[in-house]
Structure 1
């Protein structure tokens, strides 16, 4: 099972646990108050907020630091689903490109020596399937996303193609977490987190992940023609 699928199931299990153990008694006033204040800053200076947010997101992704999940939820609550999705996609794509270029131009040999087996696997798969393989790795990665950026840098894939594949493959996950963040601003208790919209998107996303994971395994095991 992919790391992202486990994360998705984990988020839903946490919300369900809160519901079973008495989520109606949990207050979200403090969280919603902080988000409302951040929303005020965004509405007064949207460009500055966007630049700071995208830069922070890119740095976190490029160095493979924890935080993207929180940033996706935050921007969904503060900027809304449309703008939030755009900001998050810019951040994850820029950060992935920075890591990709670092591996290709500055530490190619180190990455190859540090991850020899993964390097050979990804290089061969990208050579056969190109952008499709990169896109599927974003949807159902068998290796961490941060490592994927580095390993893709060792292949001959065009940097623009890599960026577009990263953007495409990141869309479903970004939308899901941004919608979760948006829900934080409107719910009255933690139980409201699991509304019909979220459950529908989660169901479609899980189906997409399973199909992508199967396709990724087929591509990795297939022999070149």
Structure 2
């Protein structure tokens, strides 16, 4: 009886079910939800959304955060549109706070699913490997905070990649959550502020400038934050060379 009771718990596929569900939902969402979670959908329903918000503000906040969490947790298309919607409905503040909170919760869910499904085994394999792979793992372990902030601050790193990689190298949940919340604030504030100005964009019949984060007056301060995050890594490397 004991062996039969313990057997399901030892089944590796049970641990992988959440990750499999996320992958399946992401694939389904890419095919079926792409046309719905879009800027055009937001533009078409903007008046109804504003009316519902005015009549049910708290419910709108809770529903918005819940939908945003699902989008991030299942890697569905539309995360950028959701961020714009947060600004459109709630202004830059508290819209940015709602966006960052929802994105962090969703990121933690997919992080946990990835770590439960594959992360622990991959981390053990990396730890026991030799050569370059082991050195990379050791470098990440020695600079976890700095690396976590870097992958969040660099605009070129896809959000889902920044959610999965830490799970595969054994990053603790609390470090992941804190670095995610703080690290995505700059980008979230930029896109939330764009969303806050969508009323005028809609009135002109235009589309928002989603490439604004790569404009010099936005990108340079973010790169400055990246440099600050990377500075301790550089200093450690220089000290290590001097020690040799």
Q: How does the TM-score come out when normalised to structure 1? A: 0.67
State how far apart, in whole Å, the 2-side matches of 1:39 and 1:122 are. 49
* Runs of 5+ consecutive residues of structure 1 not aligned to the other structure: 1-29
Deviation at 1:201, TM superposition (A): 10
Gaps of 5+ in 2: 1-40
Task: Give 1:106 shift.
Answer: 2.6
Out of 108, 117, 130, the residue aligned to residue 144 of structure 2 is 130
Q: CA deviation at 1:131?
A: 1.9
Q: 1:181 aligns with which of 180, 195, 203?
A: 195
- Distance (whole Å) between structure 2 residues aligned to residue 205 and residue 59 of structure 1: 28
Partners of 2:157 and 2:42 in 1: CA distance: 33
**Aligned counterparts, 1:1-225, within 5 A:** 34-108=45-119, 123-140=137-154, 143-187=157-201, 188-189=203-204, 202-211=215-224, 219=233, 225=240
Displacement of 1:40 in angstroms is 1.9
Q: Quick one: structure 1 residues 41 and 108, their matched pair in 2 at CA, closer, same or farther if it must change by over 3 Å?
A: same
Query: Bigger relative contact order, structure 1 or 2, given CA contacts below 8 A and separation 6+?
Result: 1
Shift of the 125–102 alpha-carbon distance from structure 1 to 2, 3 Å rule, reads farther
Structure 1 distance, partners of 2:228, 2:145, is 13
Residues in 2 aligned to 1:56 and 1:207: alpha-carbon distance in whole angstroms: 32
Aligned 8 A contact 2:86 2:192 in 1: yes
Q: For this pair of structures, how many residues does the alignment match?
A: 192
Provide, for residues 143-190 of structure 1, a one-character-per-residue CA deviation record: whole Å limited to 9, x for no partner.
432122122013343312211111111111111111111111135426
* 3-state DSSP of counterpart to 1:149: helix
Deviation at 1:64, TM superposition (A): 2.0
The aligned residue for residue 22 of structure 2 is: none
CA contact (8 A) 1:58 1:92 kept: yes
Aligned 8 A contact 2:148 2:176 in 1: yes
Deviation at 1:33, TM superposition (A): 7.1
- Paired residues of 1:62 and 1:98 also in contact (CA < 8 A): yes
Cα shift at 1:105: 2.1
Q: Quick one: structure 1 residues 134 and 42, their matched pair in 2 at CA, closer, same or farther if it must change by over 3 Å?
A: same
Separation (CA, whole Å) in 2 of partners of 1:87 and 1:217 = 28
CA–CA distance in structure 2, aligned partners of residues 156 and 101 of structure 1: 11
User: Would the aligned equivalents of 1:57 and 1:92 in 2 still touch at CA under 8 Å?
Assistant: yes
Query: Structure 1's 177 and 186: CA in aligned 2 closer, same or farther, altered over 3 A?
Result: same
